[in-house]
Structure 1
Amino acid sequence: MAAAAATTLRDVTCGIIAVRSRRSDRGVVITLAECTFREAAQLARDPRSLVLLPLGAIEQHGPHLPLLVDWLGAEELARRIAPHLTRAGYRPVLAPALPYGVSTLAVTWGGTVSLSRRTLKSVIVEIVEALSRHGVRSFILVNYQADPDHLKAMAAARRVLVRRRGVRVAFAGFAPGTRPPTPMTNPDVQALMRSSRPDREWHSGELETSLMLARQPQLVRRDVARRLRPVWVDVRRKLARGATRFEQLDPARRGYFGSPALARAVTGEKVMALRGRLIARDVIEQLSAGRPRARSRRRAR
């Protein structure tokens, strides 16, 4: 696979990762951190290059999942998006993920590490500015953390970057300023669930537990997950009414919303593949709304 990837990418062979899933999602991702400085400079000069910066979080995910769910989810989304961008004429480059984010909702729970909005905004801005000085002009913030304060920091970072550096910054995954349905909450995504209330499957429920079963099954406390009863909370409504902590969303402090017991690895695989296609299409539309992009060989499907 590495040899074939090198042939496809020709002049850059650094940090190539094979993406193995369904046929339509297979491809390669160039990982920035594994490039030499010459290879990185070559990528920066290529107008087709898109840097994908995954944004995650280290925060509680119920009694059955580890703290790294959002971190892993952001990296997985980036890898699923990348092959579709390649087929559309871009050259996606995966930057190292930011594991820490703004976790205001979970700040009182054990293990959660929450940055301030100002800190996250500054970190994103400085990373993108550093790469833009080398010549990169297009970036995608691939985000798997839905905390409202985290989303506000992302929006603020993009405003600064567009004003200060004139770069293109697209959002992928959970994005500020969007309302359902989105590529993350698309009806087709919900149709893949077994849950009787897919609209209430939010934090650490069927979907996130399925993701972990598909990607890191050894980290799922399955015996615990199987015993968890469904928790149905209208999270969006409670957030709109001013809730700022998980314990305000669920005073019982169960740490999850939805039905983790229904999770299956096959659901996680199907959902991530579908989200990859939907998000790639959305990203391409965002980039097309800016300056002209590289000539497209084939639109993401």
Structure 2
Amino acid sequence: MNSAHGTGEAMSTRPFVIVLIFLASLASPLSDSFLGEASAADTLVCCDSASVNLHLLGSASAGTLSPFSEDLTETETTATIANAVTSEETVGKWILPNVWPGTIPANTWDVSIQYEVSSAASAQVNATASLKIGSQTFTASTEPGNSILPQGTGTLNFAIDVDATSISDMGAIELTLSARSVVFTLPTGDAKLEFIWGTSDSDSTVEGEIPLFDLVLAEPEVEGSDVYFSVLIDSNWGMDMLSKSNSLEIIVNGQSLTGDPIETSSDGGVRVTWTWQGAKGGVEVVTVEAQIIIESGGETL
């Protein structure tokens, strides 16, 4: 159930067929009301894991990761290396706490760190990005072609191969960036290398596949000629999963339901309910699917 800025994604449930049975009310034979029932139970429809961009936020010593671009601020955060480094130095650590339990598939995670080199022609960097997922740690270091950072701004990239693993409820994902050596070429004055994150213009990210939530299509409720369709979003982000996401919609018979749905907290998760007034009465079969987009511009799962 999600998507991302540029490299995000939309998650959608596979369509479910629901049989609605409407009976004309015997008490009011001239009215337009119906008595009805739905032959469908609560159904878990999504998601084992999903591709997501985790944005680096906060300080270098106590940073966090967030799947929501809305958490980016207008003030960038930096970690500065102003002298040549000859021994390993930690640049920063960022943690995504309380990850939803599930399986993380084998895949390559992409770490993109924004930087700026000033008062030098370039900086040659020997750096390592480490991902701790649950109890396992995976690392990648700068390649020869990616180790020389020219003057000005740019992006330092790491491709970290992650093995299939599982993560328990309230487990954490931690990114650590460290530099073993930094050498400035043709320094003039106070040469420095700054790593930058935390704003939309300097958005450093980790892209990978993780469990984000459970998406449940609730048993429909029939009241008169109205049918109420609800989606339950169960995650460790509570109402943020809804308020900070780009959009959430439910589609009945190929048509997105319009109008403002009712949003309520439900056992730590979120319940969103739409009213459908397209029932015709009698025995009716409808196809229902739901989609949530965390950030715009991604593929549909």
TM-score range, shorter chain: under 0.3
Which structure's residues are more often strand, by fraction? 2
The structure with higher relative contact order (CA 8 Å, sep 6+) is 2
Select the structure that is richer in helix.
Answer: 1
- Which protein is bigger by CA-based radius of gyration? 2
TM-score normalized with structure 1 length:
0.22
